[in-house]
């Protein structure tokens, strides 16, 4: 791997992963050739994923880390957070859908669109300390891109807690995603598994366009990706339009910053809070190695670059010592490629240090109360269910 990272998997986990890769994953790779499920119109006509990765650029080696499979059986896992009960809650894109809204509203630009979708199929799972998955709610929207783009799935993008209350942000809903009656927005999940929409993000974006949208890369309902809770409010990042917004529990939406206004179409993805907001960006395709950045955004909306030289960033997190980490989906290749994802530690000097590598299309990460990193792995693709994982990364220093 080019690092001191040690991957320790027991025999059953190794066999499970081998079976996944050899039996199901070839079909997954064949159709998962576009990362459009995350930001559906970032790039058009991406060539197929390759099964063998090119070597990523050299970075300083880290102290040893242990990577193991913590949970399996997830459907396109995305954002994840630990709840006040100590369990891990995972947003899932779900299983897609077949419903069409062509002729009923503005559609996503071809060839990514038109989407098809379903008002159900998206899911939130709870994972206990033993890695056992149970369903919190599975009646949430899920949609998929056009078949020519791999029928890639989006649904529930991320979760967050305010006190004991679970909230989620929807990315696969809205008429432009083939889902009538349910917009992209913030939902509150009730203890009995029901849910309520508290904020209509589709309507907010349509009423408040950003300064520099990309006409050939435009999602009318947005493609929300990451969310955090800060001092009783929620903050969500939307990559396609390029913005960071604040949402109160009462459903009031305000824009913190129009990222597109100063940065252009950089595809901002993940957000973490550590005194200020820290946002990473995916950037457009083909992938240019080292072209992604980490940005600091103040609560008043001032933005500045704090780290450069990263690639396809889909996660940002801070450990208990205040050290920042970034999750790269793909490195060393022009297009999304399994087995090339990495976790980096970002030093204040700007030096990037590899913590873990060889991850397969990871989509999000969070620190647990045990101090370990938990990463959504095999996090995007077509409506082939059950392939997603959560990895546990134990960092020793």
pLDDT, averaged across the chain = 87
255 domain residue, yes or no:
no
Neighbours of 212 (CB within 10 A): 15
pLDDT for 63 equals: 56
What are the backbone dihedrals phi and psi of residue 263, each rounded to the nearest 5 degrees, phi first? -110, -10
Structural domain harbouring 187: 6-235+359-395
* d(C-alpha 204, C-alpha 271), whole Å: 20
Per residue of the chain (397 residues), what is the pLDDT tens digit? 333 333 333 334 434 433 443 344 433 443 333 343 344 434 333 333 333 333 344 565 555 799 999 999 999 999 999 999 999 999 999 999 999 999 999 999 899 999 999 999 999 999 999 999 999 999 999 999 999 888 989 999 999 999 999 999 999 999 999 999 999 999 999 999 999 999 999 999 999 999 999 988 899 999 999 999 999 999 999 999 999 999 999 999 999 999 999 999 999 999 999 999 999 999 998 999 999 999 999 999 999 999 999 999 999 999 999 999 999 999 999 989 999 999 999 999 989 999 999 999 999 999 999 999 999 999 987 777 899 999 999 998 8
- With H, G, I as helix, E, B as strand and everything else as coil, classify residue 214: strand
101 domain residue, yes or no:
yes
pLDDT for 202 equals: 98
Q: Check if the beta carbon of residue 346 is closer than 8 Å to that of residue 297.
A: no
21 domain residue, yes or no:
yes
Count CA atoms closer than 13 A to 27's CA, side-chain side.
10
- Give the distance between the most distant pair of CA atoms in the chain: 56
DSSP state of 139: E
With a CB cutoff of 8 Å and minimum separation 6, the contacts of 358 are: 1, 7, 339, 340, 341
pLDDT for 58 equals: 55
338 domain residue, yes or no:
no
Model confidence, pTM: 0.88
Q: Are strands 373-377 and 243-247 parallel, antiparallel or unpaired?
A: unpaired
151 domain residue, yes or no:
yes
Count CA atoms closer than 13 A to 131's CA, side-chain side.
12
> CA 119, 136, 383, 186 torsion: positive or negative?
positive
45 domain residue, yes or no:
yes
Per the structure, how many domains does the chain have? 1
Token pair in block for residue 10: 């027991």
* d(C-alpha 19, C-alpha 339), whole Å: 15
* d(C-alpha 97, C-alpha 85), whole Å: 32
Which secondary structure element, helix H or strand E, spans residue 19, and what is its range?
A: helix 11-19
With a CB cutoff of 8 Å and minimum separation 6, the contacts of 380 are: 32, 35, 37, 38, 76, 93, 152, 153, 336, 361, 363
346 domain residue, yes or no:
no
pLDDT for 9 equals: 34
Q: Check if the beta carbon of residue 153 is closer than 8 Å to that of residue 37.
A: yes
384 domain residue, yes or no:
yes
């Amino acid at each position: 791997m080019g690092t001191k990272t040690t991957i320790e998997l027991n025999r059953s986990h190794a066999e499970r992963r081998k079976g996944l890769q050899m039996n199901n994953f070839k079909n997954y790779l064949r159709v998962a050739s576009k990362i459009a499920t995350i930001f559906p119109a970032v790039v058009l006509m991406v060539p197929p994923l390759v099964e063998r990765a090119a070597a990523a650029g050299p970075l300083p080696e880290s102290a040893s880390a242990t990577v193991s499979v913590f949970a399996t059986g997830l459907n396109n896992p995305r954002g994840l957070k630990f709840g006040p009960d100590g369990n891990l809650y995972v947003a899932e894109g779900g299983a897609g859908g077949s419903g069409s809204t062509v002729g009923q509203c503005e559609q996503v630009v071809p060839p990514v669109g038109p989407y098809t979708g379903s008002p159900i199929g998206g899911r939130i799972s709870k994972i206990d300390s033993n890695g056992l998955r149970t369903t919190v709610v599975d009646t949430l929207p899920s949609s998929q891109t056009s078949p020519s783009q791999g029928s890639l799935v989006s649904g529930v993008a991320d979760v967050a807690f305010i006190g004991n209350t679970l909230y989620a942000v929807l990315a696969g809903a809205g008429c432009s995603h083939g889902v009538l009656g349910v917009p992209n927005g913030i939902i509150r999940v009730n203890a009995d598994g029901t849910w309520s929409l508290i904020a209509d993000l589709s309507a907010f974006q349509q009423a408040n366009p950003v300064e520099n949208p990309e006409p050939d890369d435009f999602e009318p309902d947005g493609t929300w990706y990451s969310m955090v809770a800060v001092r009783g409010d929620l903050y969500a990042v939307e990559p396609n339009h390029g913005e960071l917004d604040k949402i109160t529990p009462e459903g009031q939406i305000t824009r913190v910053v129009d990222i597109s206004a100063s940065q252009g179409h950089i595809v901002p993805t993940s957000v973490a809070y550590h005194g200020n907001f820290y946002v990473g960006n995916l950037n457009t395709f083909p992938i240019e190695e080292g072209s992604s950045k980490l940005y600091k955004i103040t609560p008043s909306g001032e933005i500045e670059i704090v780290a450069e030289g990263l690639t396809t960033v889909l996660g940002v997190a801070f450990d208990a010592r205040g050290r920042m980490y970034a999750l790269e989906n793909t490195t060393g290749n022009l297009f999304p490629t399994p087995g090339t994802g990495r976790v980096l530690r970002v030093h204040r000097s700007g030096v990037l240090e590899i913590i873990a590598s060889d991850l397969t299309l990871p989509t999000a990460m969070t620190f647990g109360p045990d101090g370990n990193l938990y990463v959504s792995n095999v996090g995007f693709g077509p409506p082939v269910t059950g392939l997603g994982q959560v990895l546990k990364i134990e960092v020793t220093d």
